Amino acid sequence: MSGQMTSAVKRREQPVAEPKATGKAGRNLPAAIGVGVGLGAVIIASLLVVKVAFLGVVALAVVVALHELSVALKERGVSVPLIPVTAGGLGILASAYFAGEGAQTAVLGLTVVAVLVWRLADGAEGYLRDATAGLFAVVYVPFLAAFAMLLTAQDKGAEKVLLFLLLVVCNDTGGYAAGVLFGRHPMAPRISPKKSWEGLAGSVVTAAVAGALWMDFVLHGKPWQGAVLGVAVVASATLGDLCESMIKRDLGIKDMGRLLPGHGGIMDRLDSLLPTAPVVYLLLQLFLKH
């Protein structure tokens, strides 16, 4: 009997095997490309056909991302007040699109109050923990995503949002290609072992060139402004990716979800987009004053 118990303990102590990588960067590349192309087609269609449809696409992504985040936190005993967080998040997105920055901020404030009041019903135990998680979720996901709604509502909104998305894609693809081909020096091995300084350089070059060309030929700004924007996007997207990697490490999970083959969950795709949206919004406000 003692031998069986010892064997069982040893089996429990053995680490769970990581899924076999499908490439040098550990990603199922065909699935990732297919999903990425499909998502891109939906986003481009919503922007170019009826701009308000993009609000619906972002709202759906935010709802799913909030659910993924709440499930991940639940595994660590943290209960996000999901109903007020989701309702408030949708209100933040809609107010940003239809009424601008002031309304976006006001609805955020109302959502904070709603989260604090909603959590009262479950008693004092864990109140601060759960309320804080709810406030984190509503700021991290819908509030940051709402800056894309502010861009969409502007003149040439579709072109600005497409630039925002293009630069994030350039950051990912340029960094991935350079990392696979030339990656030798890890950038943050304790947080994201597959990221390299060579990959970061590839991201910078790709995003800067794409930003300069788009700013010049589509938005009729100055090429140097597009290059600066591209570098800023690489910085914010990389930091956003590293921050979400740290969150997942703290939670002890590999991905936030499994909805998107080759990508993980919706939250795993928003990690670089969310912190980048306010950066792009602010810089375009400064660069395109006319």
Nearest to 202 by CA among 168, 170, 240, 228: 170
**The pLDDT of residue 187:** 76
**The pLDDT of residue 28:** 60
Helix (H, G, I), strand (E, B) or coil at 278: helix
**The pLDDT of residue 138:** 98
Of 106-110, 170-174, 261-265, give the lowest mean pLDDT range: 261-265
How far is the C-alpha of 26 from the C-alpha of 21, rounded, in Å?
Answer: 4
Average pLDDT over residues 72-80: 92
How far is the C-alpha of 64 from the C-alpha of 151, rounded, in Å?
Answer: 22
pLDDT at 12 over 50: no
Of 98-112, 142-156, 196-210, give the lowest mean pLDDT range: 196-210
pTM of the model: 0.85
Query: Judging by beta carbons within 10 Å of its beta carbon (0-12, 13-18, 19+), is residue 182 exposed, middle or buried?
Result: middle
Angle, CA 49 vertex, CA 88 and CA 52 arms, to 5°: 20
**The pLDDT of residue 263:** 55
Going by pLDDT thresholds of 50, 70 and 90, the confidence category of residue 183 is low
Going by pLDDT thresholds of 50, 70 and 90, the confidence category of residue 137 is very high
Q: Between these two residues, 255 and 27, which has the higher pLDDT value? A: 255
Going by pLDDT thresholds of 50, 70 and 90, the confidence category of residue 96 is very high
Q: Between these two residues, 219 and 192, which has the higher pLDDT value? A: 219
Average pLDDT over residues 128-154: 97
**The pLDDT of residue 253:** 84
Query: Judging by beta carbons within 10 Å of its beta carbon (0-12, 13-18, 19+), is residue 269 exposed, middle or buried?
Result: buried
